[in-house]
């Protein structure tokens, strides 16, 4: 494409937007609203999954060992467990540490009456997983290791967290598809109106030898511009409001501040910016391209 043709196409695309300004504004408003909803929904989902992940990482599997087993053997078993792909970390709790923790929580000053450690055979490993849904696989593996007496797991908690995570994923996909469909439909309608308005002009252009590409390009550019602007507006709004909203939630629900861990605006927007721009431009391109191909025979 020659530079002069490119600038002509770009100019015509912009002219089309202002020529059908009310339909263009309707499409722009729809894309902006849809992508703003997408941005809000994305931020909520990502923070919710981050909170879930933090909760999952706090769910530990406790591994207890046979009586009389040496500490060296216990540490070797710990190394074997750590080599598992699903294991995030493993904390070794010696018999002395187990007794100190128990006596501090339950006995207080009465613990001084014990000269021997009643929990001398209660050394254990607290094993934390990357993905709590893999807990049962880990438990089955650990139970098969020689020297392991008992494995204590939180099956109910693990299943609940895993189920909620899957539900959030399915709902997210459904809502995103609906938003994309609505936006594409509006862009398609706007371009259709633009083609109808310029029907006579397009006919003359084709009679004098204009290619389909030359005729189609301004409408595709129109859709891309509307999509790009429709993505930029909600990104700016989200960027300004995100920290204020997070600060408001933490202030109003201060009692939950230790449980609610939120992602920073940088962590959210590292992914949200490219995804929103791709969606906006993609919606504009696909909606206009399909419509132009359908109505180009004028």
Specify the range with the lowest mean pLDDT, choosing from 25-29, 62-66, 235-239. Answer: 25-29
194 and 244 in a single domain? The answer is: yes
Q: Please state the pTM of the whole predicted model.
A: 0.60
The domain that contains 78 carries what CATH number?
A: 3.30.70.3040
In Å, how far from its chain's centre is CA 222? Answer: 30
Give me the pLDDT at residue 195, please: 61
Boundary of a domain, candidates 153, 177, 211: 153
pLDDT in tens, 186-217: 666 666 666 666 666 667 666 777 676 777 77
Boundary of a domain, candidates 111, 127, 153: 153
Number of domains present in the structure of the chain: 2
SS3 176: helix
- CA torsion, ordered 283, 289, 295, 296, to nearest 10 deg: 160
pLDDT in tens, 95-150: 777 777 767 665 656 556 565 665 666 778 888 887 777 788 888 888 888 888 88
269 and 149 in a single domain? The answer is: no
146 and 90 in a single domain? The answer is: yes
Q: Which is nearest to 39 in space by CA: 233, 187, 262, 228? A: 233
Pairing of strands 124-129, 148-152: unpaired
pLDDT-based confidence at 68, cuts 50/70/90? confident
For the chain, the distance separating the N- and C-terminal CA atoms, rounded to the nearest angstrom, is 24
Range of the domain at 141: 60-153
């Amino acid at each position: 494409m020659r530079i002069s043709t490119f600038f002509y196409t770009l100019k015509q695309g912009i002219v089309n937007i202002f020529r059908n300004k009310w339909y263009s504004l309707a499409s722009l408003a729809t894309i902006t609203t849809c992508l703003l909803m997408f941005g809000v929904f994305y931020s909520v989902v990502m923070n919710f999954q981050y909170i879930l992940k933090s909760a999952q990482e706090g769910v530990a599997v406790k591994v207890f060992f046979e009586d009389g087993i040496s500490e060296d053997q216990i540490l070797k078993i710990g190394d074997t467990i750590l080599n598992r792909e699903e294991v995030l970390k493993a904390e070794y709790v010696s018999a002395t540490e187990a007794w100190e923790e128990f006596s501090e929580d339950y006995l207080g000053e009465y613990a001084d009456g014990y000269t021997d450690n009643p929990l001398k055979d209660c050394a254990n490993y607290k094993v934390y997983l990357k993905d709590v849904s893999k807990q049962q696989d880990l438990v089955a593996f650990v139970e098969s290791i020689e020297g392991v007496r008992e494995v204590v797991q939180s099956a109910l908690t693990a299943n609940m967290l895993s189920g909620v995570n899957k539900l959030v994923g399915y709902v997210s996909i459904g809502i995103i598809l609906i938003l994309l469909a609505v936006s594409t439909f509006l862009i398609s309608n706007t371009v259709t109106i633009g083609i109808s308005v310029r029907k006579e002009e397009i006919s003359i252009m084709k009679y004098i030898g204009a290619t389909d590409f030359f005729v189609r390009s301004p409408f595709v550019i129109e859709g891309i511009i509307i999509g790009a602007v429709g993505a930029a507006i909600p990104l700016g709004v989200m960027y300004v409001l995100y920290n204020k909203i997070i600060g408001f939630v933490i202030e109003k629900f201060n009692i939950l501040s230790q449980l609610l861990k939120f992602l920073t605006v940088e962590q959210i927007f590292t992914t949200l910016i490219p995804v929103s721009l791709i969606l906006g431009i993609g919606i504009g391109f696909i909606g206009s391209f399909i419509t132009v191909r359908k109505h180009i025979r004028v």
